[in-house]
Amino acid sequence: MVTEGLGIEPRDTLSKMVRDEKSDSCLRMNHYPTAEEEVEKMVKVGFGEHTDPQIISVLRSNNTAGLQICMKDGSWVAVPPDHSSFFINVGDALQVMTNGRFKSVKHRVLADTRRSRVSMIYFGGPPLSQKIAPLPCLVPKQEDWLYKEFTWSQYKSSAYKSKLGDYRLGLFEKQSHHRSNV
């Protein structure tokens, strides 16, 4: 759908990366106990603000609220819980490949006061050796690229060295001024 909407050729460019036998895709399950249980520990944030580093994330949760996304003006908007839908999130790698047209939106999870939240997320990541750069079919002229080329493995190691909430793409921007991610 993403490749069709953007006119990326060949059509399977992205799905090939996440479906490759060496792909770095993974599945994660998160459990957030109710906020009352957490109060003693003085924690209300279940998952601190961050962007997902991979290409795409597909999330499904139980019927408990908590997930929020960050708007351009810095305000947080709740994603209504829906146990029968998938929540699709653009990852940092897709932001680079679309040269910033698709944004990896910052999100976080706040603990609910009454119910515990369980979520399951599939992170579609490319193989470690995959080169990540704006796709030439979208941005043919290299001088228009907003990001430098890097391998997925380089991005991962730089992400491990950063804090969860850091704007990790900053290091890979061509003009390395610090931009906000929204």
Question: What positions carry a catalytic annotation?
Answer: 117
Q: How far is the CB of 49 from Fe ion (least distance, A)?
A: 9
Cα(61)–Cα(81) distance, integer angstroms:
7
168 binds ligand AKG (CB under 6 A): no
Query: Left (φ > 0), alpha (ψ -120 to 50) or beta: where does 23 sit?
Result: beta
112 binds ligand AKG (CB under 6 A): no
Residues that bind Fe ion (CB under 5 A): 52
Question: Contacts with ligand AKG in 13-72 (CB under 6 A)?
Answer: 28, 30, 47, 52, 59, 61, 67
The partner in contact with residue 61, picked from ligand AKG, Fe ion, none with C-beta cut-offs of 5 to 8 angstroms by kind, is ligand AKG
Pick one of 97, 121, 132, 159: the residue that binds ligand AKG (CB under 6 A): 121
- Of 76, 16, 14, 85, the C-alpha closest to 45 is 76
What are the two backbone dihedrals, phi and then psi, of residue 144, each rounded to the nearest 5 degrees?
-90, -5
- Of 76, 103, 84, 107, the C-alpha closest to 92 is 103
Cα(73)–Cα(123) distance, integer angstroms:
27
Positions that interact with ligand AKG (CB under 6 A): 28, 30, 47, 52, 59, 61, 67, 107, 109, 119, 121
